[in-house]
Structure 1
């Protein structure tokens, strides 16, 4: 890692429409629900959680031009330094989340302006004072953003800046294919993946085999296992496994983002592997006990 002290997060900004249904959907008819609107997006969530944990963080993304000033003020108010491009052609992305009574969620995604993130938005000068780059996997799922983040990650590698990737979405991973995603992200210092993402990317069903397979591509692998806790390892398999506390899950939106933020924030402060993994688990556990992907008082 270079001498930089800041984290640069790259990812989506979304408006999250969260639908908390009282029961299963009734096709062609009504179901009562509590509906809320909150700022979201995987990259935005990570940046806000990092700032909440006192990590110095910059956040690069693209929003609708009419929303740019509002989002800049929003992020600054939460301790995040925004580096936002305003898009004249597309509006800010929107995500509709359907949360079932058990806390599991399904998404309808319109990524909007995020699809136009480009190399002009992610110039190498963003790396000044940066010691860690965190990229949401969503940025790899469309050609324009992918070219931009691949170029910036290459520049970061050339400057000795640590690089982490969050796999982000098993649905979009299935669309682009595991082999392609691995080729775009190979060599990153760290991969964050949940159980479904690890299965798809590795082709293995057991955590030990997943670690060994993914460790061929990344220096360090962190498996987020929800209520079962988390694991840390690499090409030699599982090095550390910790359980999660039993909590009541209200909404799992953003739990993985909070986990990654907790892990990275403590790593920047020199925490041990066990301390970093525990910090990630604690942040993820806190996230599932609230509605929305960012700290409950952030919006």
Structure 2
């Protein structure tokens, strides 16, 4: 099995579950927990848990570099981390609603300083796929670094997968801009909100066809309604999701992408890969945090 190179953020997720609606200017009891996170880190750890050889490239605060390296190695992930002397490691505050839906407050910290020097050519050695988080495109420095890496990947016939990652940031930069940055990728993993933000369309068939004009294969994640995939011709496969109790949807899309990719690397067909992605996403929502529970 070829290696997957994951490029993305390392974050500490601070997960806040209020007992009721937040009262502006006053108190609300809540459960507050800290978990390792970041979209790229989540994908890498899920892949490692599935037995996929995975190399994870990211930037963290220099004081945390050794700790994170040991953490990832312990979970079957080979780290390629740069240490930042100016910015601390990133932190994400997640506020959970009663139904498991999330709102975020993000301080990306050292992730914002990811540079071309952090993503050398050697990272592509033995790689069969590069997975790039959309968060890497929303700041100028990381965007240049990742775009140059993806150009080199294509020159070496290494497949590329993109996860848009954030509806809020997509709205800031504009759909056309993001499509211009990422068009030509072999795989796009998008949820329903991201697909609507990128196309202006609400119907899945139309969304997939529109996105298929920019990406070879489009995988549309629909949470409890399952998932589908297709291309410029529209939907060619659709599968349901199992009914599970949702505790926290953080990282469910990252788990889905890892499950799908792991299955394809094992030689499974699209239907098996889509089912594996759905199963991984369903597993992820049943526990707190964005990474598999040990």
- Structure 2 length as normaliser, TM-score? 0.99
Shift of 1:128: 0.2
Question: 2:112 matched to 1:107?
Answer: no
1:5 and 1:296 map into 2 onto residues whose CA distance is 25
Superposition pairs for residues 1-299 of structure 1, below 5 Å? Answer: 5-297=2-294
2:14 and 2:94 map into 1 onto residues whose CA distance is 6
Structure 1 window deviating more from structure 2 (23-32 vs 85-94): it is: 23-32
User: 4+ runs of 1 displaced by more than 3 Å?
Assistant: none
Shift of 1:101: 1.2
Shift of 1:21: 1.3
Shift of 1:30: 1.2
Mapped contact 1:219–1:234 kept (Cα < 8 A): yes
2:272 and 2:34 map into 1 onto residues whose CA distance is 34
Unaligned runs of 5+ in 1: none
1:206 and 1:124 map into 2 onto residues whose CA distance is 40
Unaligned runs of 5+ in 2: none
2:43 and 2:29 map into 1 onto residues whose CA distance is 31
RMSD, aligned α-carbons: 0.7
- Structure 1 length as normaliser, TM-score? 0.97
User: In the TM superposition, what whole-angstrom CA distance separates every residue of 1:197-242 from its partner, at most 9, and x where no partner exists?
Assistant: 0001112110000011000000000001000000110100000000
Mapped contact 1:22–1:100 kept (Cα < 8 A): no
Report the 3-state secondary structure (helix = DSSP H, G, I; strand = E; otherwise coil) of the residue aligned with 2:292. coil
Q: How many corresponding residue pairs?
A: 294
2:20 and 2:240 map into 1 onto residues whose CA distance is 30
